Amino acid sequence: GKIIPMTVKKGDKVVYAKYSGTDIKGDNDEDYLILSEKDILATIK
């Protein structure tokens, strides 16, 4: 396989479809959304 760098970076604000991704709760009780980069509709600058 070939590694392709991600186009989104930490801290970027993104728009995604309502039912995309998987919700998880971290060790510190924070909520996270695991999302594939292909499910991102737009990035907000």
Domain chopping of the chain, boundaries: 13-44
For residues 35-45, give the mean pLDDT: 93
Q: Can you give the pTM of this predicted structure? A: 0.69
Report residue 15's pLDDT band, with 50, 70 and 90 as the boundaries: very high
Q: Give Cβ neighbours of residue 12 (< 8 Å, ≥ 6 apart).
A: 43, 44
For residues 28-35, give the mean pLDDT: 93
Q: Which tokens belong to 15?
A: 């728009």
Report residue 39's pLDDT band, with 50, 70 and 90 as the boundaries: very high
In 3D space, the residue among 19, 5, 2, 9 whose CA is nearest the CA of residue 43 turns out to be 9
Say yes or no to pLDDT of 45 above 90: no
Q: Using one digit for the tens of pLDDT, what is the confidence trace for 20-31? A: 999 999 999 999
